[in-house]
Each structure stands twice: as C-alpha cells, then as structure tokens.
Structure 1
C-alpha cells in the first residue's frame, strides 16, 4: 500500500467516490489530511474502494463528558455518517476507552469517614497545603483557609483580571490552568473555613459532609495517592475500573442522547494489558525501544529515524516543545531515568506502588499513554488503517508518538508502510479564548446542558455543522443566533410542507426544479470538498429562501415535494432528525408537530377561531348566526389526563365566543379573544396558531425564537410601565411640592417682615432685603404659586 500524499485519483477512489444516493455523480472525495497538511483524494486501502477502517481516540472516563467532548464526538459522527450514508462506504469504526480510575483511595476515605471529624479536617488541611505548594507557588503553603481569598487575589491579580503570566504574550491555556488551580483551592479553602468555624454542627451532618467532600475532593485526591498509594493491590483491576464503568455507561448514554452512533467496536485499556506488553516487546526486538534500569521502556527516536522513518510528521513544529512532551509523559516526565534522547518517550512505565500493573519481560508495569492506542488499534484493524481521528490537541505528542511506535512495531526493512493514511483532527470548542477541557475544569457537562435546556441535541449539532469540523469553534451569541435562525428556518419550511396547500400549485412555474438541481450540485461539491458542512448548510438555507420567495400557487407540486425530500435527506444525513435515515419516506424532522393527544382539541379550536376571526375582520362584520354556527364544532367527550389542558382551552374559547352573540361590539371582542387564545392560552401550552392570509391558521409548536420574541416584548412592556410609573411618581412628587401655599412659603425665622403677598422685606436681623435677593425670592415665589395652583386644582377633582 502506498502513502497517500499526492492529488491523484486511483480507479478504486473513483469507484468509491462516485456513488451518490442523492442523484448524479460526485467528483472525487478529498479530505483535509493532517499528515499532508492538504486536501488529499480519499483512496481506501480496500482494492474495491468500499471498506474503510477507522480508529478514534475515545475518552478517559473518570467524570461526566462535557461540551468539549461533544464537539469532538459529534463532529466525528457527522463525518462518519457522510461517509457511510452519502458516499456509501462500509465503515468499520473502532473507538477506545481509557478506563483506569484514580478515585479509589478517596472513595475509601469517604466511606471510613462519613462525617466531618477533626481528623478529617486535619487531613484536608494538609492536602490543601500540599496543593498550594505544588500548583500555586506564589502563595505560602501554610496560608490559613480563611485568608486564602484575599491573598490569592493579590498574588494572582494579573491572571484573574485576564492578563498573561510572566513570559507569555497573551492569556491562554496556561492562564486558564492557573485559574483552575485557584478555583480548586478556593473551593477547598471555603469548605475548610466552614468546617473550622463550626458550620458542620449546624444543620444536617450528612448534607454538610457531602458538600465538604465535593469541595475538597480535588486537593485530597493527589494527597491520598502520595500518602497511601502503595497500599493498593495493583493486580486487582476491579479497584481501578469500578468507578470508570459507571462513567463509561454515562458517556455512552450522553453520546446516544446527542444522537452519536455507537462504535462498531469498543476497546478498553484494562482489557489489553498483556497485548500492550507484547506490543512493546516487539518494538524493543526491532531495536526501536530500550529498557532503563528502573524497568521502564522508552522509544528510541534516533534509531527510528536512522532506519529511514520520519518522526513528528503531524506536528513537526512541536517536536522541541518540551512542555507538550512532558504533558504527554504525565508523571513519568519527572523521573530521573536517563534517556538516550531528550525527546524519547515512554512505551512502558515501571509501576509505582498502588498503580495498576501487568506482567512484562521487564517486571511489573503499566502502558505509556501513547502505546495503548497503538496496540488496541493494531489488534483490531491490523497493520494498516484508513483513518485515525481525535481532537486537534492529540496531534502532538499523542498521535505522532502513536504513528512512530506503530510503524516501529510493524517495521519491515524491505519496505516502509504507513500505519495510518488519513489523520482527521477535530477543532477545539472554546470559551473566552481557552479550549474547553476537563483538565482545566472550565466545562459544562453534556448532561447539565441538556437538562437545563441550554442546548438540544439538534441545536448543538447545528452549531458544530456551521463551524466546520477541523476549525476551532468559539461559542458566541452571534454563532448561537445563527444556529437558531437556521433551525427555525428549516422548521418553518417543514411545517409548510406538511400543509396540503403546499402541494396544490398549478405547475406553471418550473423554476424550483432548477433551483433544486443547483442545490444538489452545490451540496455534492461541498461534501466532496473535505465534508464542508458550512457550505451545505448555506446551500440548504438558500434553497429554502428561493422556495419562500416563489409564488406558491404556481409551483409544480412534484418540484415542491422533491425539494422537501431533498432537504429532509440532508438533515437526516447530518443526524439532525433522531434515528431517521437518508432514505426515509417521511418529510420533515421531529419536534415540529403538536402532541398527538392535543390534536383532537386544537384542530376544532383552530377551525372555530379561523371562522369567527375571518367574519369579524370582514366589512360586514360578524353576525350572531355566524357565531352560533361556528361554536357547534366540539372536541371529543373522552379526555385523557394529558389532553385536559387543551380541552379546557377549547371549552373556554367556545363559551366566551358563544356569549358574544348578542353583543353590539361582538367583532372587536371576538378579535380580542382570538388574539388572546393565540398569544396566551395556547402559547403557554407550547402551541402557536400562525395566521396566514386566505389560508387556515397553521397549528404548530412554539419555537425558542418565538419565546425569545415574547420575552423581549414583555421586557419592553415592563420597561415602558416602569418608565410610566417613574413619570407618575415624579409628577406626584412635583404636585406634592405645591401643597405649601406661596403666601406662606417664606414665613419662617429666616425673615422678620413680609409684604401682602408673603414675600420677605426684611431678614431676621431686621435688615432690608436687597434688590438682587428680592428678585430671586420673587422667582421662587412665582414658581411655588404655579405649583400650588396645580395642587389645588388636583385636590378639587
């Protein structure tokens, strides 16, 4: 198999790329390949050009998945769906799970100490001090928890105000990490302060203990590991996987909630310990690895390159980045083991006491971070694979080291074969310029985001589609607004397609057919252009705009239906419609229909409203007979519990409309009731009646955009009311000032004589008032006279 580094197209690639279930023939598929730093023709290993092997780096499951995970796995899912459902590749998708838990000692500690005793507080204080010493060097480790807030704000004022650390040009992940440490220590300090001041004795002890342990967990974990790690039975893998099994299940459920397809195969690190040891042993036999005195094994980069291989092909500019390399080595980076080369990395780690370990030729140990994926992917997919994917932060050192050690494992002196042909790296999800990650603790979990309804699976996926798969995405109000607008536009289009009137045009206008073909061609080109979903989303939006601007009465119903089916196939292709497939016969997507239990009451209600509204708006006005005829329509007599709110709205509307039969102002009152049932009664139940000229109202669910518009309208009304109240209060205040008569206003001890109008002539000392002062007093007198007259008039009303 050759390396795919040129822009040519083999017959196999042409065969694979030409399959187009949406009509026509596709240009060759090209993908952005991190190996070549270019868009490369996609040429599968399979001679028939159909089967595709794909390995994806999965999560380390020690906590709930966050929106940064969603960005990676949803974007991966979108590409996988496009390859499977649009290009019709037979994709074998394998993903790993790193399932080693580090919370055993903490959970054991909590189990032994269910309440917060002085001994627990003492342990937490020592852990807090150790955490400060290791992670916040500008603070005294002996700093009392009660003084933490004031001291950290002084010591790290620059970082906390958004500035950069010394030596950094601008704030980024380094500063985010410091903020994370500050936040972690802050939580512990607050918990310790409460415990020391006796808060644990006030209220429920169990509740306090739960809150205390939640807040000190991240400082106690490393402390207990250093203190008691050696006591753990390293051969009892159940200890290390007990909690991870829980979070693995939660991760998979979160992915399913986001409509991410399950992997075809899932590998777990703890199930491959022996295979990984064998994998490392073969690398050593191939003379690309060496054993150190402590029983660890390192990859020999110099030997690898001398054999004709290249190292750090994905990110050669990061090869000398010692900081990244150290992060990739984890705790092993601090070992004093002498390596042959400064950039050599660990294949196998001699286990520290308390760490999980497996037998090997060099004694008990555990896999290096990078070797896990190499061994598992090779075990599942063999010597070569088509695609390897993960977040962009994995390019170096993780994927570069994977690539090197795997090619060292499969090394053949006669030919150098590339282990992976295409690396696909998903861009970060960012907030305030810093990537969202578990290690930085600047994340919102998927579960929280969905439960709080910050996002829906569809709205989140739309934002990722609009941002593309390899570019970084920063969540901004503008991006969220763009996503919401796109979703509402498609929902409105599908609602129109469900209306029978949409398929009743005369057919004299055939322009929509040409618009549809142009959209299909554009979508095809975009998908072949490295899965350019941004372009596809724009093409779909433009097609809907052209339909919206057309004269519906003249369109060909076949063209309208074909357009609706094409838009449906694309949203299904992108996973925006639950489990619906691209060849589904149903038009539209879920969530745009009203509840089934509501329909028997909503449709009669809408019909009654349409009838009386149309009559009330006519020149002739509505008659009592028209009202009587309209309200004859009723809903079912049997009402389920779920349908009661809708039945009640129908009953109330019929009753109120019926009562207007003898009213002289029936038309005006009918229209007011029609507006109320639309804008309040049904809206509060999540239903909206969309009025249309010369057509029945469209019965549809309320959208987020409608809710936002109503909230903004209500906010404006409240603001207007507040301003009115403020004006009225100011007017009352001014009016109250007029209560004092102008004839009495100056009769105070400040003066000793007054004229007939009550104006002062002499001050308290008997001195005559000066002309300039008298002039000013006259102005004040006249102002008060006017105010008093207004007050008198108001009192008389």
Structure 2
C-alpha cells in the first residue's frame, strides 16, 4: 500500500497518551458513548488490540442474518489488521479476539427436545393410530399457545380455511394491531402459521390415505409442533448429569457454523471458548460478585445480580441502552426460561447469574447446589478468563446491546470492582446492524431466514457478492436487502471485475509507450487514497471507500488508453487490488500481494494449454488475411502446426477446449479449397471468437498489431451479447412485418376496383362499379359516396400495381 508520497497534514498520526506511540487518526462509533471517539488501544505501544466477539447460539444452521454480523465483524478486523496495521492477530493467547459458542437455554431445550423426538421416532417407526393421536394433541397444544385467534380444537382438515380467515390481515402484510406497522410479532405469527400448516397437512394425509405414508416425511412435517409437546411430557425425565444430550446438538451445529463462515471467507478466531469448558470459572466468577455484595442467593440456590446495590455504590447500569432498562419484553427475552416469576427477586430488573437446575436441565456442582450458568455470565467469565480485567473491543449484533451486553458490563465490573481501573471493563462496544427481510429482522426464532449454505449452494449469493452488499451498507446500520441494493452490489462487482480483466497482465516494469506519466490519473489515485483513508478513519465508513474506488475506475476508463503510461495503470490496479484484498473480497490473498486482480478474472488453468495455441493460430490467420497477399497451403499448414504443441491427453474439464482446438485446426486446413479464402478466414475467426469460445465462457479481445487477449466472459459481455441478439431479433421481426404487410397489400391488389363493391352490401352500381344504392334500395348519401370514391381510387392504384407485378 505504501506509495512513497508524503502524507498530507490531516493524515498525520495521533499519539498514544501514555507513551507517545504513533497512532492513526481513527475514530470508532462506540455504543458506550453513542458517538465517534478516537481509537486508542490499551497496549502502551499502541499496536496490540484485544477483541471479544459474542458468538452464535448453535442449535440450527447459520443464516444470512448471522452472515451480516460475522462478515461485518471480519471486515472491521481486517481493516484494523491489514490497513491500519494493528496487531489484532498477535498469535498470543494473551491478546486474542475470542468468539464464544454459548450453551444457553435455547440449546438446553432444543437439545433435550431433539433427544426426546429421536426416542419417540425410534419407538414408533410406523405412522399408526397412536402416533396420529399424539401428534393431534401436540397440534392442538401448539394452536392454543401460539395462534390464539383459532379454536384449539380446530380439526386439521379445516385449518387452512380457518387460519386464512382469522389471520387474513397478517397474511396480507398487515399488523395485528390496527394502525401499527407490521414487524417481528407479525413475522412470528406467520412462522407459527407455517409450522401448523405443515403439521395439519400431514395429519390430514395420514388420516385419510388408503396406503401407509412414509414415516420420514410425516415426522419431518410434524416435528416442530411435536417437539415442545414431548418436552412438556418427558423433559423432566432427562438426567441432569448427562451433558452429552445437550452438547451433541451444539457440537454438530458448531462444526457446521465454522464451515459456513469459512465459506464466506471469514477469518477463524484465535480462540473459541465454550461454556461447558468454563463452568468452574463461571462459578468462581459468581462467587466473587456475591463476595462484593452485588449478588444475592435465593432459597432454591439461584443467584441474582443486585442492580440496586450496584448503582448505590456509584456504578451505572444499562449504559448501552438505558431507555430499555424497564422494557418487560426485552427483560423476559434476556432471561428466557430463567424469567419464571419469583417473589425472591429484589427488583424486576435483577437477572440470574446462576440458576438452580430444574428436572431435565443440565446441572453442575456449585456452593449453592446443582445448577447452571445464567446467559449473560457466560461471556463475562470466559472473556475475563482469557483477557483479564480490561479489553479494547467487545462486539456483537445490535440485538445483544440490551440486556445481554448491558448485563455483561454490570456483572464484569462488579467482579473486577476492586482492581479494574475506572471500572471500565470494555473500552469500545461495537454493534452490527440487523439484516432485515420485509421489514423484520432475519432470525432463527422467526424462521424467516435463508441459511448460508442454502444461499451459496443455490447461487443466490457468492461470498464476494454478499460481502460487497455489507460493505456498501456500512457495519452499524441496519440493512434491508432490496432489488436496488442487489443491483448496486452487482454493478460495483462487475465494474471492478471488468477493470481487473483489462489490467491483470500489467507489471510495474512494463511500459510499451514512451508516454510521460499521466498527471491527471496520478492525481486521481492520490485523491482516492486520501478519500479512502478519510472514510476508514471515520469509523470504518466502507460505503465512502467503495464509492471512491468506483469513481477512480471511472476516471481510468475515460482516460486515453493510447497515450496512457503503463506504470500509472499498474499503480492504480495494484492499489485497488490491495483494497479489495483488505476488505476480504479475494479469498486468502493479503494486502501486499503482487498479483493484480481477484479470483475469477482468468480462464480455467486446465483450458490454457488449448486456448493459447488456438488464439495464436487465429492471430496468424487474421494477420495473413489482412496482409492481402496470396495465402498458400504451406502457409495454412504452418499455422496449424501452432496447435500441435497442445497435450494429447485432456482432463475432463479440459476436453471441451481440446475438442474446439481440434475442430478449428481441421477447418483451417480445409480453407485451401475455399473460393474466397480471405473472406472465409475472417468468417472462421469471427465465429470461433463470437460463438464457439464465447459459449465456453472465453472471450478473445482483439488488439491492433498485438496478440488477442484471452479473457473470461464477463457479465458486461454477456449483457452486450444479449442486447445485440435482442436488436437482431427486433430487426428480423420488423423485416418480417414489412414483408407480411407487402404481401397483404399485394394480395389486396388482386381485386379490381371495378369489382370491389359488387357485394350484397349494395344493390346498384354505376359503370365504374361505384355503388349508387344500398342493399335496401336507398340512394347512397353524398358523404358516403365521397368516402367510397376515395376507397375506389386507392384500390385502383393497388390493382394497377399488382397488374404490373404480374408482368
């Protein structure tokens, strides 16, 4: 990235307040201050950065909402590491960014439910009357709890009609409450409707089918209504010490999650912490909070955080989102099943640090009896165990700000109360915005999501295209994927791709012309570097950086390519390559890579041994045709020999290219017999470029007095080809229309003007065949007679023309 040019004054680094260490003028939007503040690491040397990122709740496949969080986190991490050169990846266990995989209540209940469901299926392999009865009861219980506008005893066969009537407003995009805007509550209702719809359909088929239905299909359809029902019946029978029941599910989805984010080119964390591996540290953490008199024990052995005592000692609670501290819904969501009403809580906002386990829940030993961690304490204990009393950055999705991160802050500062300087556990809290779909955040609980692996496998997204969308949207703002945003992302990607296709073969030493350096283009590069620096110093404002890069490419595209100095072109291409690598848009390539461009701008390696000889043969043919000298058989034979160096054994991937080379060589050899050999050569060269190679995804870019460039077909070229084909089709349609109209006109001219009106519509005519009376014997009016005369004259001309055409 270094250019050797002097930095402007505004780019001069700031200094670390303690050691005068050089720092970039980077400001980060800090959720703690709700403002942009200078970024100064705790490290006295100003380079090492400690970072803890809240990980996923791994009980299902990761979706695009997760991608939004972790890809955006990855972008910021790369910018800190590769652009600002902070030591974020120190390789030391002392200062790693850490992601936690939480074994929270959702995992407990889902793991338990999956275990019970598997047992039920094994015990009932066939769908019989007992199974149908159990599922019917589960269906009714689900209706009663989740779709309260319906009669819980509603027969499955009537469900479709009744739900469409009862929830018509929601199904048509409206809100549950008149006058309000549809959001998460409506999305949740739609999710429940879909869940019950699947079960109701399966029940109807199972009850009416004359043949036995497939149990696998049936259980798949009813699983989501059966799981909670089985849990109410048998959940309490699960042994609390059998942790494998609960961790089996998390292990499966943790592995799948890690693969999903790797597929999105997200860097691995230096360390992954798991709750089940930190239970003793959590117990010790809770003990210390109680010792500091910020936690209290209830009669059942649960521990709650005492918000009143915490604030009375001069601390502040809910610093991230103080306006939400009394939000009952958020408090309930934050506690989940721990939020069971208890008269022993001193304040409704107090939250569980440790909870006595109920039957069917995992339990670990503690000074207060068998229990399990509260949700918030997990992150505090794990991060403190790895990072100590303070960290630079803590990140996560914005939905975690309250109560999760606010509670993390409170309990951690309560734990470090006597040792933490200024009681600041985290210096910078950064929260990624939501990814929305139809106005509602993408969520596993709402089931309104597309999984990462589904989106990638279907080709809806690529790791690059999705990352570009997030870069265009900024990290802390909510993003709703719309058609306009998708088009903007595609346009940016295609613009950069075309730029790289044009510049991929440049090198710093190449300069085919004696042209002086282009001061305008050099100034444009410098201006863009400065604009990107300003944008990224402004709290990682990637939309501004992306726009600046796009504008630089526009200036390059409009420059005079004939007089353009190759070194100027290389400087621009190298810098843009560095930036897309920093943003993670090019796989594992680093910012200092000497290679120009990103993956996808070159033809397949397996094709090259056949494409390059073919291109060389074609260049020689075109050169011979343009020379306007006699083309002999010996000349053609010499040209064909250029293709004999290609390997005779081709891999399966290379076979189409080998076949095309063979066919092209044969056609070249046969040109000696052509009547107009020059014309046939040019036709053959155009066809292999425009059709044969293009259909294989390869394009030959012809250049004056230089070999053609072998390029992959881009979206721009595909669009141009489609537009050209559309114009050709339109031209053909217009031609056919004219021919048809001419034919119709000629056919119409067959009839003589003397006979054209001798029909039943009239009863008398003059000597020229013009009507004088209508069918009823009434005289033709003067106005009508005048009109008929004009038609007669037109037909006379058409008939005379037809007579001429017949001669």
TM-score for both structures, normalised by structure 2: 0.85
Q: 1:491 aligns with which of 497, 507, 522?
A: 497
Q: Is the 8 A contact 1:16 1:50 kept in 2?
A: no
Q: Deviations over 1:568-594 (max 9, x none)?
A: 222222222221222223333222121
Query: What CA distance in whole angstroms lies between the structure 2 residues aligned with 1:269 and 1:301?
Result: 24
Q: 1:97 aligns with which of 95, 101, 104?
A: 101
**2:254 equivalent to 1:248:** yes
Question: What SS is found at the alignment partner of 1:383?
Answer: coil
Q: CA deviation at 1:65?
A: 1.0
**2:551 equivalent to 1:551:** no
Which deviates more, 48-57 or 717-726? 717-726
**2:611 equivalent to 1:595:** no
Query: What CA distance in whole angstroms lies between the structure 2 residues aligned with 1:364 and 1:669?
Result: 88
Q: Is the 8 A contact 2:275 2:378 kept in 1?
A: yes
Structure 1 match to 2:9: none
Q: Deviations over 1:257-312 (max 9, x none)?
A: 11111111101122223322332232222222223344333222222111111111
Q: 2:146 aligns with which of 135, 151, 156?
A: 135
Q: 2:162 aligns with which of 147, 151, 156?
A: 151
Which deviates more, 116-125 or 216-225? 116-125
TM-score for both structures, normalised by structure 1: 0.86
Q: Is the 8 A contact 1:292 1:337 kept in 2?
A: no
Query: What CA distance in whole angstroms lies between the structure 2 residues aligned with 1:293 and 1:728?
Result: 96
Q: CA deviation at 1:611?
A: 3.6
Which deviates more, 406-415 or 467-476? 406-415
Q: Deviations over 1:214-248 (max 9, x none)?
A: 22222111111111101111111111111221111
Q: 2:323 aligns with which of 291, 313, 317?
A: 317
- Within a 5 Å distance, the mapping from 1:695-714 to structure 2 comes to 695-707=706-718, 710=721
Q: Is the 8 A contact 2:48 2:87 kept in 1?
A: yes
Structure 1 match to 2:616: 607
**2:36 equivalent to 1:39:** yes
Q: Is the 8 A contact 1:504 1:553 kept in 2?
A: no
Query: What CA distance in whole angstroms lies between the structure 1 residues aligned with 2:717 and 2:615?
Result: 19
**2:66 equivalent to 1:60:** no
Q: Deviations over 1:360-389 (max 9, x none)?
A: 333322222211111111111111111100
Which deviates more, 405-414 or 362-371? 405-414
Q: 2:698 aligns with which of 687, 709, 719?
A: 687
Q: CA deviation at 1:79?
A: 1.1
- Within a 5 Å distance, the mapping from 1:210-609 to structure 2 comes to 210-412=216-418, 416-499=422-505, 503-511=511-519, 512-609=521-618
Q: CA, structure 1 residues 397+496, in 2 after alignment: closer, same or farther (shift >3 Å)? A: same
**2:649 equivalent to 1:639:** yes
Query: What CA distance in whole angstroms lies between the structure 2 residues aligned with 1:232 and 1:598?
Result: 59
Q: Deviations over 1:637-666 (max 9, x none)?
A: 423223221011112223234433343454
Query: What CA distance in whole angstroms lies between the structure 2 residues aligned with 1:606 and 1:730?
Result: 46
Query: What CA distance in whole angstroms lies between the structure 1 residues aligned with 2:741 and 2:355?
Result: 77
Question: What SS is found at the alignment partner of 1:631?
Answer: helix
Q: Is the 8 A contact 1:612 1:622 kept in 2?
A: no
Q: CA deviation at 1:414?
A: 9.7
Aligned length: 769
Q: CA, structure 1 residues 200+261, in 2 after alignment: closer, same or farther (shift >3 Å)? A: farther
Question: What SS is found at the alignment partner of 1:585?
Answer: coil
Question: What SS is found at the alignment partner of 1:441?
Answer: coil
Which deviates more, 438-447 or 341-350? 341-350
**RMSD between aligned residues:** 3.9
Query: What CA distance in whole angstroms lies between the structure 1 residues aligned with 2:738 and 2:177?
Result: 54
Q: CA, structure 1 residues 622+250, in 2 after alignment: closer, same or farther (shift >3 Å)? A: farther
**2:177 equivalent to 1:171:** no
Query: What CA distance in whole angstroms lies between the structure 1 residues aligned with 2:373 and 2:757?
Result: 93
Query: What CA distance in whole angstroms lies between the structure 2 residues aligned with 1:524 and 1:683?
Result: 40
Structure 1 residues not aligned, in runs of 5+: 1-6, 18-26
Structure 2 residues not aligned, in runs of 5+: 1-12, 89-95
Q: CA deviation at 1:720?
A: 8.0
Structure 2 match to 1:71: 68
Q: CA, structure 1 residues 245+629, in 2 after alignment: closer, same or farther (shift >3 Å)? A: same
